[in-house]
Copies of this chain bind each other. A is one copy, B any other.
Amino acid sequence: MPDYKAPLRDIRFVMNEVLNSEKHYADLGAEDASPDMIDAIIGEGAKFCEEVLAPINQSGDQEGCTWSPEGVKTPAGFKEAYAQFVEGGWPSMNAPVEHGGQGLPESINIVLSEMIGTANWSWGMYPGLSHGARATIEEHGTPEQQETYLTKLVSGEWTGTMCLTEPQCGSDLGILTTKAEPNADGSYAITGTKIFISAGEHDMVDNIVHVVLARLPGAPEGTKGISLFIVPKFLPDTAGNPGDKNGVTCGSIEHKMGIHGNATCVMNFDGAKGWLIGPENKGLNCMFTFMNVARIGTSIQGLAAAEGSFQGALAYAKDRLAMRSLSGPKNPDGKADPIIVHPDVRRMLLTQKAIAEGTRAMIYYAALQADWVQHGEGETQKDADDILGFLTPILKAFCTEAGYEAANHGVQVFGGHGFIAEWGMEQIVRDTRIALLYEGTTGIQALDLLGRKILMTQGAALRNFTKMVHVFCKENEGNESMKQFIEPLSTLNKEWGEITMKIGATAMQNRDEVGAASVDFLMYSGYVCLAYFWARMAETAQQKIAEGTSEGDFYNAKVQTASFYYDRILPRTAAHAQMIANGGSSMMEMDAEHFAF
């Protein structure tokens, strides 16, 4: 199992140098978020992740969760780590002061989430899953609901879940059937089965607050008849403490490919008492308020997989001796050269590195937009919301796809040893595979991006972003050392718009062309976005070098990684562009009954 070392220098590079977070927090009016304060928080968080969470990552995978009729037991050390997490005040960091939080911006929490997720993704899902429930109650709860539930979620004393999926529906929530029938006392009786409820049941806290999607009697069919309900595991007594057991039980937990340390629960609601939250039949709209942040949360799993597998593979590649460099021995006194001398090993390591550091910049940038959505006003808020809405499906799908690729490179660098559990590399692959599925699959994100976000705005959402890229390219036009990045970036930025227009035109004739193009379009978009952020990182690094720095090697490595990204990853856009141009006829014409004989 590789040690986890929080990449603090890289994190600071993105936050402080590339994204100028000091100015961001000052503009935001987040006085508490001074550079020193942030440094201290991140440094403390890193220690917790390295010393408490990382050591129980592999053991958590091996032990897994255990179900019994009494509930779910989490792996050894998980409960204690959570207690320490609550003790340290971490859950409340980004919550509003009026509900007992520390009122720090969401973006700082995203940095913490990266470190937690890389150290131990399965563990991180327990506090992480509270986010949806907390955001829903914060936004739509009555003052009483907030007093009863929100304060406990903010302190971390209780955790929360979002109960969406049912056996017959995941992506298509319109066909969910869980019922909510009014009780005489103003509450509702919730009946139905929810599946894939992460952290739906566990032994870390005294109570679990489920936010459940269900239908009121006579509600319209489809997505317009869904309402939200708060359904606690234990009904709070008059003092607000867990009282009687509610009619909700965990029927079983899933046996699955990875994230064994996290309980994926089948939750049976059997006339469970619940309270309506938000307006009737507007459940899905209420959820959109926090969906973007939840999806950034999932995109972090891609970043975490890339960073974690890169750390493991790099250490191994410097240590493991095999064969001689094709250009002559590099370790003549040893019986062979360390494998990091071999070009293809470097290709894999640099791909992991380019993905980890590139997606970090993308995700942190989006997190700053989320700060403005939460705390900004007027145009500022709207612009941030537009950019965030556009970036969200790209982050969720592209970063997780790229992270999964990086995790596989991690296994590959280890050769046969990569397949063996003790090295920890295969666990990252298994754990990360879910990221491409939950919170909306890659296919669902791609339709959201191309259909809802871009074509439904007549391309406005894309133009916001390409304009920003265009301005950046213009600013660097005369900069000789940036030419290797600006030329291809500017070409692709233009092509991106052209491809979109072409899909739009084809889709007018045939709506299936949207779906046929969608995933290639999403991946294309992801690579161009990453190219933009790598160019920005290269620009910052080159500025630092030009100004004179004692960290020349560090900054130089950023420029080198950017070059690698442009040379050896970005050309994938050519394939995606061609596949989009070839259209959907060859995938649509086969009769469903003719796929196999």
Q: Does A326 lie within 8 Å of B586, measured CB to CB?
A: no
Q: Please, how many angstroms separate the alpha-carbon atoms of A438 and B417 in the complex?
A: 10
Tell me the number of copies of this protein: 2
Known contacts: A326-B514, A512-B326, A595-B557. The answer to whether A256 contacts B420 by CB under 8 A is yes
Q: Does B596 lie within 8 Å of A311, measured CB to CB?
A: yes
Known contacts: A256-B426, A443-B345. The answer to whether A567 contacts B586 by CB under 8 A is yes
Closest Cβ neighbor of A344 among chain B residues? B443
Is there a chain B Cβ closer than 8 Å to A589's Cβ? yes
Q: Please, how many angstroms separate the alpha-carbon atoms of A578 and B563 in the complex?
A: 14
Chain B residues with Cβ below 8 Å from A513 are 343
Chain B residues with Cβ below 8 Å from A318 are 592
Contact flags A309-353 to B (C-beta < 8 A → 1, else 0): 011001000100111011100000001101011111111011001
Chain B residues with Cβ below 8 Å from A434 are 416, 419
Q: Please, how many angstroms separate the alpha-carbon atoms of A568 and B175 in the complex?
A: 32
Q: Does B568 lie within 8 Å of A582, measured CB to CB?
A: yes
Q: Does B175 lie within 8 Å of A336, measured CB to CB?
A: yes
Of A39-47, A164-172, A541-549, the one contacting chain B is: A164-172
- Greatest chain B CB density within 10 A among A335, A584, A590, A593 is at A590
Q: Does B411 lie within 8 Å of A347, measured CB to CB?
A: no
- CB of A89, distance to nearest CB on chain B (Å): 30
Of A120-128, A205-213, A569-577, the one contacting chain B is: A569-577
Q: Does B343 lie within 8 Å of A584, measured CB to CB?
A: yes
Contact flags A379-417 to B (C-beta < 8 A → 1, else 0): 000000000000000000000000000001001100111
Number of interface residues, chain A, beta carbon within 8 A: 111
Chain B residues with Cβ below 8 Å from A470 are none
Q: Please, how many angstroms separate the alpha-carbon atoms of A582 and B567 in the complex?
A: 6
* Sample of 9 further A-B pairs with CB below 8 A, known A172-B322, A344-B519: A7-B596, A175-B336, A314-B595, A325-B512, A326-B514, A340-B592, A343-B515, A353-B596, A566-B586
Q: Please, how many angstroms separate the alpha-carbon atoms of A135 and B259 in the complex?
A: 43
Q: Does B557 lie within 8 Å of A594, measured CB to CB?
A: yes
The 3 closest A-B pairs by CB, nearest first: A343-B515, A571-B578, A257-B426
- Across the interface, A560 reaches (CB within 8 A) one of B417, B578, B586, namely B586
Known contacts: A574-B578, A595-B557. The answer to whether A343 contacts B516 by CB under 8 A is yes
Known contacts: A437-B418, A568-B586, A578-B574. The answer to whether A511 contacts B592 by CB under 8 A is no
Q: Does A586 lie within 8 Å of B564, measured CB to CB?
A: yes
Q: Would you list 8 pairs from A and B whose C-beta atoms are within 8 A, ordered by A residue?
A: A10-B597, A256-B419, A256-B421, A343-B587, A408-B433, A419-B437, A554-B594, A567-B582
- Across the interface, A515 reaches (CB within 8 A) one of B344, B442, B554, B573, namely B344
Chain B residues with Cβ below 8 Å from A172 are 321-323, 336
Chain B residues with Cβ below 8 Å from A349 are 595
Closest Cβ neighbor of A427 among chain B residues? B257
Q: Does B433 lie within 8 Å of A553, measured CB to CB?
A: no
Query: Which residues of A489-515 are within 8 A (CB) of B?
Result: 510-515
Closest Cβ neighbor of A62 among chain B residues? B255
Q: Please, how many angstroms separate the alpha-carbon atoms of A345 and B515 in the complex?
A: 9
Closest Cβ neighbor of A513 among chain B residues? B343
Is there a chain B Cβ closer than 8 Å to A588's Cβ? yes
Q: Please, how many angstroms separate the alpha-carbon atoms of A259 and B311 in the complex?
A: 26
Chain B residues with Cβ below 8 Å from A314 are 595-596
Contact flags A241-269 to B (C-beta < 8 A → 1, else 0): 00000000000001111100000000000
- Greatest chain B CB density within 10 A among A9, A417, A561 is at A417
Is there a chain B Cβ closer than 8 Å to A583's Cβ? yes
